[in-house]
A and B are shown apart, each in its own frame.
Chain A
Amino acid sequence: MDFEEKIESLLTVPPYSACPLDKHAGLLSILREELVYACQRHEGYRNYVHNWPIDYQSASLVADLPYLPVGILKTDPPLSLVDRAEIKRTLTSSATSSQQPSRVVVDSPTARRMTKGVVAIVRDFIGSARRPYLVVDTKDLMGEAALGARGAAIQGLQPFASVVTYCLTLNDQGNLALNRGRLEEFANFHTDSEVLVYGFTYILWNYLVVPLMSEGIRLNLPKARILHSGGWKRLQDEAVEKTLFNEQLARTFGCTPDRITDFYGMVESVGVIYPDCSEGNKHAPLFGDVIVRDTLTLKPVGEGEQGIVQVCSVLPSSFPGHLLLTEDRAEVIAYDGCPCGRRGISFRFAGRIPKTEMRGCGNLQVNRSLLN
């Protein structure tokens, strides 16, 4: 794969330093090569690319390249560009009981780049030092061959860990429960240290903040850097907004709210996560991009406009996940010039695409028996 070296070189540069024009030219070149490679490895994908209305070989914009809707990764067996023996892990997205999860196969080169990608991004936000790592989740998630969204996120931050402590366990009923002893031991031992804390947003709230707040317990970890991800849907259902969440979480840990960082990540976009900057915006790293597409035209929207999010990443080579149209919406804040200093697009998520049921008389969901 000729593009490997190019990707590696992108991973060594500060991820938000390039001017957008230079960045896009570099991305376009690598993505084209990756498309050639993916087409060679998967004939169905080749068929998709060849039927795309714009020839990717002559495309002048990343936005013109053929993207896959993320829902297409919900197939079993998963879409793969590598032989079965090369698959190191299968990542699965979180999904409700009525939905199929996405399945993403990861080989060694993709896994390596995935780790480097997350490290490059997180380093830009919290520095590169290793520190005690408190995981607000259970160790039982960390399977060998299969890994869910929570497990993947926990693992992605391990390069910043000197020692890892999991403070939740599964009780006899298989439900998550806070291990008070382990948490207190961690807090007491690292009171004066820089520590890293990570948990899914709703898990942090329901299994740590709420129980500790109800008993008036506060941890004394003023140097904690708290990262969380997984979205706000569940907490919004419980009427917990971001400001309240940040205030209560900071109070529980004994730190200031500015030490809390919400990031968006999806299993399907391996190695690329989108933390909030100090301005509350998200940015795309050098080895990836975000295109926000108008729902009516599927063309990129202008600044201040909302649309469907497409994520781009040069990192995966084990599955065709370079260009994925998500089911999330976002607003483009600016295409460059965020006051935080990071170059390129700045955007904010605006929730999921509403799953409006098509209510028409032509909306057929079940078969009916003849002459019934």
Chain B
Amino acid sequence: MIELAQPTLTQAVTSSEEINNASARLRQTVLETEISPNAVIGVFDSWAKKLNTLDLDAAPGISFLRMWLRRGTLEPIVARELGPNSLHGRWHDYGRAKCKAFPVGVVGHWPAGNVEIQPILSMTCALLGGNAAIVRIPSGLFEVTQRIMEKLVECDTEEVLTRRIFMAAYDHSRQDLQEAMAKSVDGAMIWGGEEAVLQIRSLPFPHWTRIAVFGPRISVAAMDAEAWSDPENQETWCRRIARDVWQFDQQACSSPQVLFLEKKGNGESTAQFLLMLQRAFEIENRAHPRRAIAGALTSAICRARASWLLKDTTHKAVFPVGPDWTLLIGSGSDVPSPTQGKTLTVLEVDDLGDAVAKFDGNVQTLGLAMADSQKESKVALLAGQRGVDRIVKLGQMHVFVPPWDGVDLIRPMVRMVRHVSSTEGENAK
């Protein structure tokens, strides 16, 4: 039984009728009241300011959410994805025709349970396209989502957005409710691990439903020899790596699970760099200590440490007594199985290309620190060929900017309507 502290937007749903009714109401709202991206961004911008409160600072990802909701972030994204003039919901020239983005209708969101701000991020993508949103809130995210949404309610006094949102709280095992939600949406944004994605994709969506899947991926970090051995920038890079590992407890698809270090031609040891990385992890851990952990993850971390060190006597590891973080150190070009829980495998490799060439489509983001721009271009090209969708600077692996997983974030949930005028040109005579 799901219990909610306050019924602000998020509702404990127990029957299919509740979802059907909400969907019908939301669809009516979309039909009756068109909303431009500019109007949506106006509310988002106020919301971002409201989120700037101390009581929310501990929520993982909240600082990023504040940045994402700002006008300065969203306006260029809307313009790029939906075209010029789209900000104000106007038609724009498209050759001899005109084009305008229209919402698909009601978009259902199935966020993953590991990223605290994901229900909100997913929902904002649909709202920017003028849609309404039904969001299923994973059980572990009720409280944080509720707190964030309360801030939206405070600033959206005209209910410009809140009347387009229905947040549903129900157990993921309620197949009847999952099916009801699927049947009632015109678009779906599905995030999560393999099991969750497969389960949701198999639901009975209407044939017209647009489905965007952001499925299970892992991410990788890599540094060329000049970057990791540069004494001036070593500390900065290490801090960035630690930050990328810490966010979302390393459970997000954009979290680096392995760091490849290109070996230096002169045989210079990585020991000094690894010591710096260890310090960066210790500092990050002190600044952002874990407040809770599942017993299964603690076990998995202990197993990863032991199996790594038992498997090969050339392997090394650095870790504290607790499960806080782990560096597994060795060499090789294969991407190891992820452990998560701030367990980073650091592998020395002769050539970064050797590692990237082995990517098999599972790698979403490649975080890079390269001193040699030509080498970076080669690595980026190879990574793109090998299925990587995002190639970014270390420290920015989680920056949520489209395209994400190789696709836009707003455009998949809008219809680009093309209008060829009958009153202009030859046909108008």
Contact = CB atoms under 8 A, between A and B. Distances in A.
A and B are interacting partners: yes
Interface of A: 43-48, 51, 53-54, 64, 68-69, 71-72, 79, 295-299, 308, 325, 327, 329, 353-372
A91 B389 CA distance: 48
B310 A295 contact: no
Nearest to B316: A51
A308 B316 CA distance: 26
Contacts, number: 168
Contact of A364 (B214, B248, B302, B338): B338
Contacts of A353: 295-296, 298-299
B321 A354 contact: no
A355 B313 CA distance: 30
Given A48-B309, A359-B138, A363-B194, A298 B322 contact: yes
B403 interface: no
A47 B313 contact: yes
Interface residues of B, number: 62
Contacts of A356: 294, 296
B84 interface: no
B57 to A, nearest CB: 21
A48 B306 contact: yes
Interface in B234-273: 248, 250-255, 257
Given A45-B310, A72-B306, A295 B293 contact: yes
Given A361-B114, A361-B115, A363-B338, 12 more contacts: A47-B312, A353-B299, A357-B193, A359-B195, A360-B340, A361-B253, A362-B193, A362-B219, A363-B192, A367-B362, A370-B359, A370-B361
A243 to B, nearest CB: 26
Nearest to A43: B313
A54 B321 CA distance: 8
B361 A368 contact: yes
Contact of B360 (A43, A329, A363, A368): A368
Contacts of B291: 296
B188 interface: no
Given A295-B298, A360-B340, A370 B310 contact: no
Contacts of A51: 309, 316-318
B216 to A, nearest CB: 5
A296 B250 contact: no
Contacts of A47: 309-310, 312-313, 315
A71 B309 contact: no
A282 B232 CA distance: 57
B163 to A, nearest CB: 30
Contacts of B319: 53
B340 A362 contact: yes
A299 B321 contact: yes
Given A44-B310, A298-B323, A355 B296 contact: yes
Contacts of A298: 298, 302, 321-323
B194 A69 contact: no
A372 B294 contact: no
B303 A71 contact: yes
Interface of B: 112-115, 138, 191-196, 214-219, 248, 250-255, 257, 290-299, 302-303, 305-307, 309-313, 315-323, 338, 340, 359-362, 386-387
Contacts of B299: 69, 71, 308, 325, 327, 353
Nearest to B295: A353
Smallest CB-CB A-B distances: 5 pairs: A360-B114, A360-B251, A363-B193, A353-B295, A44-B310
23 contacts: A47-B312, A47-B315, A51-B309, A51-B316, A53-B321, A69-B306, A72-B307, A296-B292, A298-B298, A358-B114, A358-B296, A359-B192, A359-B196, A360-B112, A361-B115, A362-B216, A362-B251, A363-B114, A363-B251, A364-B194, A366-B194, A367-B362, A370-B360
B387 A371 contact: yes
Contacts of A329: 295
B216 A72 contact: no
A334 B359 CA distance: 52
Given A48-B306, A69-B303, A299-B322, A360 B192 contact: yes
A369 B294 contact: no
A369 B257 CA distance: 20
Nearest to A366: B194
Given A71-B303, A298-B298, A357-B195, A79 B310 contact: yes
Nearest to B328: A51
Contacts of A358: 114, 193, 251, 296-297, 340
Looking at A355, A357, A359, the one whose CB has the most chain B CB atoms below 10 A away is: A359
A370 B386 contact: yes
Contacts of B323: 295-296, 298
Given A44-B310, A370-B361, A362 B293 contact: no
